[in-house]
Amino acid sequence: MAKRLFNKEFFIRSVKYNVRTLFRKEIEEATEQQIFQAVGYAVKDAIMDAWIATQKEYEKSDPKIVYYMSMEFLMGRALGNNLINLTFYDEVKEALEEIGLDLNTIEDQEPDAALGNGGLGRLAACFLDSLATLGYAAYGCGIRYRYGMFKQQIVDGYQVEVPDMWLKNGNPFELRRPEYAKTVKFGGYVRVENRNGRNMFIQEGYQSVLAVPVDLPIVGYGNNVINTLRIWDAEAINSFELDRFDKGEYEKAVEQENLARNLVEVLYPNDNHMAGKELRLKQQYFFVSASVQEAIAKYKKKHSDIRKFYEKATFQLNDTHPTVAVAELMRILMDEEGLEWDEAWDVTTKTCAYTNHTIMAEALEKWPIELFSRLLPRIYQIVEEINRRFVNQIQEQYPGNYEKVKKMAIIMDGQVKMAHLAIVAGYSVNGVARLHTEILKKQELKDFYEMMPQKFNNKTNGITQRRFLLHGNPLLAKWVTAHVGDEWITDLPKIKELTLYVDDEKAQHEFMNIKYQNKVRLAKYIKEHNNIDVDPRSIFDVQVKRLHEYKRQLMNILHVMYLYNQIKEHPDMDFYPRTFIFGAKAAAGYMRAKLTIKLINSVADVINNDASINGKLKVVFIEDYRVSNAEWIFAAADVSEQISTASKEASGTGNMKFMLNGAVTLGTMDGANVEIVEEVGEENAFIFGMSAEEVIALENQGGYDPSQLFNTDQDIRHVLMQLINGEYSPNDPERFRELYNALLVDGGYNRPDPYFILKDFRSYAEAQKRVEAAYRDEKGWARMAMLNVAHAGKFTSDRTIQEYVDDIWKLDKVTVELPEEAK
Ligand code: KOT
C-alpha cells in the first residue's frame, strides 16, 4: 500500500495557524478542546486534496455507486481513525510531541459521533471504512441528529439518560453544503389532474422542509480514496418574515420552523425495537427523499435515459427503516420523470436491496394506515398499488389460498408492513450470518422464500480491523506486524500466519504480556471512572452490548451471584480470581432492562465491598459504553460473553472484535458465533446451551415450566430467592421482584422465562468451569487466545463488502491518483 508523504513542518504550522485564527491564541494558551479543534481542522486540510481528487475521479470514470441508506451510523471518534487510514498516525503523534502535545489526550477531547444504537449502526460505519479502503464509490446516507445516543450516567446504581450534545463545540470534520439542499414534503392531499391524457398527481396543502446535506469524509486506508457520509440537516424553507401580518402565512411559517427543528433533533434510542412514533416515520421519509433526489440528480448530470438508472446506482436499505425509498423512487420516476408504472417498477426493483438484521417480533416495522397515509399521501397511494399488484400475483400463484394473502400482503389489518414492501420491491434480501439467513428462509420469511428464492442470500457481518486492532490495540497490532508483516491491515486473512507461533513459548509470553498491559490500561480506566480496584492478573470476563433480555445479561449476573454464594459457602474452595465487566445501555423506556442494570450494580456493590472473599471476585459496570471506550475494552478482554438465546442474535459483531483482540468466546451456537467456532475450532471456544433448533421447537410447544428447576436445583433456587429477600436490596426487598416474576411467572409472550435463562443456566455454569480450568493452563490459554486472533480473518468487513459487491451491488473498482502538487 502506497504511503503518502507526510510533511511534518507543514502540519505543525497548520495546527499553530488554526489555533490563532480560530481562537486568537498561541498553542500554550489554548485549552485541550481548542487544540483538538485545531488539530482536527489540520487533518481535514490534509484530507481535502484526496477528497477532491476522489470526487473528480468518480466524475470522470462514472462508476456505479452504492447508496447505503441507514437511520444509524455509529461512527465513534474520527481523529485517530482518519490518521490511521491516512497512514499518518505515528508521524502526527511525533510531530505533536515536538510541540509538547500528546495525541492520545487530544483524541480524548473528541466526542463520539454516536448516531446509532449498537450493532446495526456500527456495522454501517465499518462498511463505509471497507468501501473506501477497497476503492468503491459509495455514499452513506443518513440524518445529522442534533443529539445522538444518550450519554449514560449511573446514579445510585440506576441508569440516567443525559442528552448527548456532540455538536456543542462544532465538528471540525464536517462540511455543510447548502447548495445541494433538497425540499421534502409532508402531509396535505393529492389532486389528480389529467394533462394531455395522462394523470398527474399533485400534492397540495403540504408542509415542507429543506434538507441540507452535511458531508463527512470517509478515509480509505492508504489509497487516497475519500468517500462521503452525507447526513441531512433540516431547515425551515422560508424562515420568519416579521413584516408578514397575514395570519395564515404566519402560522404556516411557525409550523415549518417547528417541523424543521423537531425532525432531526434526536436519535430514537431503541435497539431491536420499533418506535411507532409519527416523528420517526417523518425522519425516515426526510432523509430518504433527500437522498433519492440527490442520487437521481447526480445520475442525470451524465445520463439522459432514466430507465437505466440502476446501471449506475444501487440503494442498500439497512433494515426496513429506509424502505420508503422504494415508493419515493417510484414517485420521482413516474411523477417527475414521466415513466409509466411498469417502467418505473422495472427500475425500482433493479435498484433497491434489503438487509434484514433481526427476527425479534417487536422490531418489525408496521405503520398504521391512518398515520402513513396522512403523513405521506402520495407515497401511500403508490404502496397501495404495489400491494394491489402483489396480491394479484399471490392469487395467481396460489389460487384460492387466502392464508397466503393474509400472511404476505404489504397492507393488512390496517397496517403497512415495511419488511414485505422491502422484499417485494428489492432484488436482494440478505441476512447477516449463515444461521440467521437459514432461519429467515425456513421460518420467518418462508412464504417469501418459496415465492422468490433467487432474491435470498447471506452476507455474514464483519468489522474493520483498522479501528478495532490497528487503532484500538496498538501493542498487539505492532506485535502482529512484527510476526506476519503488515498486509493484514488490508488483507486480514494474512493474520493466519500467526498459527506458526502459537506453540512458540517466547511468542506466547509476548502475547500474554501485551494482553496484561491492555488489562492494566483498562484497570486504570476503571479506577478513574468507577473507583474500583481490579487485579489485572484476574480473568477479565466481559459482556458489552446493548441491554436486551434476549442477550441475557441477567443470566450472567445470576451466575455471578451463584459464584459468590459458592465462595461464601466454601471459603477454601479453589477459585481463580475473576473480574466480571459489564457495559450496556438500556432503551429509556425498557423497564426490565433498566432494572437489570440496577441489579448488576447492586451485586457489584455487595461483592466488591466484601473483604472476606479476598478480592477473588469483582464486578464492574462501565458507565456509558460506547465506541471509544469499547476499543480499550476489547483489547483487555480474556473472555468474550456471547450468550444470547440461540436463534435470537442475528449475527453479533462484538463477538468478532473480541476474537480479533485475542479473547476467547464463551457463547451459544447463535448468530455469527457459529461461524467463529467453525473458523477457530470448537476446542478453542466455550460453547454451551440449547441450539437454535431446540429453542424454536420448545417455543412452538409454548415454552417450558421453570418451576421444575426451581424445585429441584438448590443453587438456582438460592439465587432466585435472593432476588426477593433483600440480599442485594435490604432497604427494598421487593425491588427485583419483577425479574423474579419474569423468570418464574410471566416474562412476556405469556410464559415464564421466555429466553430460557434458567433452562441454560447449568450448562452455562459448567462452561464457566471449563473457562477457569483452561485459564489455569497458562500456555494452553495463550495458544487458544492466539489461535482466535489467527482465525479472525473471515470476520473483516472487507470480506463482507467484497461479497456485497460481487453478489449484489456489482460495483466497479476505482483508483485515485493525487495530482503532483498535492503529493
Ligand atoms: C432494529 C430496530 C431498531 C434499531 C436497531 C435494530 C436492530 C439492530 N436490528 N438488528 N440489530 C442488530 O444488527 C446487527 C448488525 O447486523 C447484528 O449483528 C445484531 O445481531 C442485531 O441485533
Interface ipTM: 0.99
Q: Please, are residues 602 and 125 in contact by the beta-carbon 8 Å criterion? A: no
Ligand 1 within 6 A of 358 CB? yes
For each of the domains in the chain, give its residue range(s) and CATH number, in order of start: 1-61+78-111 (no CATH), 62-77+112-461+806-822 (3.40.50.2000), 465-795 (3.40.50.2000)
Our CA dihedral for 120, 124, 125, 128, rounded to 10 degrees, sits at 170
- The response to whether residue 651 sits with its C-beta less than 6 Å from ligand 1 reads yes
d(CA 600, CA 597): 5
Residue type, 1: M
Q: Cell numbers for 324, please give them.
A: 420508503
The set of residues, in sequence order, having a beta carbon less than 8 Å from that of 8 and lying 6+ positions away, is: 91, 94, 95, 98
Mapped onto helix, strand or coil, the DSSP state of residue 490 is coil
Q: Is 791 a catalytic residue?
A: no
pLDDT under 70 in the chain at which residues? 1-3, 239-247
Cβ neighbours of 312 (radius 10 Å): 18
Establish whether residue 123 lines the binding site of ligand 1, counting it when its CB lies within 6 angstroms of any ligand atom. Answer: yes
Residue 688 CA neighbour count, 13 Å, CB half: 24
Within 135-267, residue ranges assigned H as helices are: 247-263
Would the CB of 670 count as within 6 Å of ligand 1? no
116 lines ligand 1 (CB under 6 A): no
- Can you read off the three cell numbers belonging to residue 7? 510533511
Ligand 1 atom nearest to 649, measured from its CA: 20
Q: Residue 789: how many CA atoms within 13 Å on its side-chain side?
A: 34
Q: How far is the CA of 671 from the centre of ligand 1 (A)?
A: 11
Residue 357 appears among annotated catalytic residues? yes
Chain CA centroid to CA 153, Å: 21
Asked whether 283 lines ligand 1 (CB < 6 A), one says no
Q: Is 568 considered catalytic here?
A: no
Residue from 357, 420, 436, 799 carrying the catalytic annotation: 357
| CA atoms in the 13 A half-sphere facing the CB of 371 | 13
Chain position carrying cell 436491496? 353
CA distance 117 to 74: 7
At residue 254, the pLDDT reads 85
Contact in structure between 344 and 336 (CB atoms under 8 Å): no
Q: In this predicted structure, what is the pLDDT of residue 2?
A: 52
Catalytic site includes residue 261 = no
Q: Which cell goes with 386?
A: 404495489
Identified catalytic residue from 144, 594, 657, 794:
657
Of 128, 173, 113, whose CA–CA distance to 318 is shortest?
128
Ligand 1 in contact with 121 (CB < 6 A)? no
CA of 589 to the centre of ligand 1 (A): 18
- In ligand 1, the atom with minimum distance to the C-alpha of 118 is 8
- What is the Rg, in whole angstroms, of the alpha carbon atoms belonging to the chain? 27
211, β-bridge pairs: 182, 234
653 tagged catalytic: yes
Find all residues with CB under 8 Å of 763, minimum gap 6, and list them: 688, 689, 690
Containing 581, the helix (H) or strand (E) segment is strand 578-583
Alpha helix ranges (H) inside 205-277 = 247-263
Going by the DSSP 8-state scheme, the letter that residue 689 receives in this structure is: S
Q: Are strands 664-667 and 639-642 parallel, antiparallel or unpaired?
A: parallel
